[in-house]
Amino acid sequence: MDQLVKDKVAIVTGGSSGIGKAIAMKLAAHGAKVTIVGMSSEKGEKAVKEILEAVPGSQVNFYAADVSDGEQADHVVKKVLDKEGHIDILVNNAGITRDKLLMKMQAEDWDRVLDVNVKSCYNFCKAVTRPMMRARSGRIINMSSVIGMTGNSGQVNYSASKAAVIGFTKALAKELASRNIHVNCIAPGFIETPMTDRLSQEQKKEILSAIPMRRYGDPEDVANVALFLASGLSNYVTAQVVTVDGGYI
């Protein structure tokens, strides 16, 4: 296997499960030194163990942090820089849902989703920008969703957060392009993860009927796109939103 990101240093937020774990594993399999960031030390250490078992000899570790907290984000980035000397890849994958109709949605439901899904991108991107600019190299991948492009009833907070990630990505890409820092966005469709497991059978049936490929995606489908965007295969790609949705959009 070609190691497309050999010896690159990567941070993956929300990397303890689902899409994030698949991305962390894919990067590790292609030679990257990966740091997973998440809230739960138990889940994080479990993910590290799974990746090390699946990719013997890989370099993976975990730091517990609340990604919505700027000081904690700065601390994680500093620890990685102190250990490795540089950061080449940042994947802002952390995300949550708190679904309710707007008339029933509490302010805390709005604030927490925006904090985790959007402010985390601000926190980590700001923390890595200076070292990437000094190196005149870097790859930033932000995770949006097709819901940020279509909207969805009962998800005004989630839809708003994922639409914001798209705008954030396009603006930051223009700020950093001259320093050879690529900033792109992935918008997954309905991927089989613990988040989609919470959908009812009726909801799943309705969603599948709207997907031309008639199947849910797999986390590895998203991880493959992340690898492309993190590697030299995408040297002339920035400010883009790549949908991974089986034709849903």
Residues serving a catalytic function are: 158
Strands of the 138-143 sheet, one edge to the other = 59-64, 33-38, 9-13, 89-92, 138-143, 181-188, 241-244
Reading the block at residue 39, the tokens are 């809230």
**In sequence order, what DSSP letters do the residues of 56-118 get, joined into one string?**
TT-EEEEEE--TT-HHHHHHHHHHHHHHHS---EEEE---------GGG--HHHHHHHHIIII
The burial class, CB within 10 Å (0-12 / 13-18 / 19+), for 159 is buried
The C-alpha torsion from 173 through 175 and 179 to 183, rounded to 10°, is -20
What sign for the dihedral angle of Cα 21, 25, 31, 36? positive
Backbone angles phi, psi at 88, to 5 degrees: -105, -30
C-alpha of 130 from chain center: 20
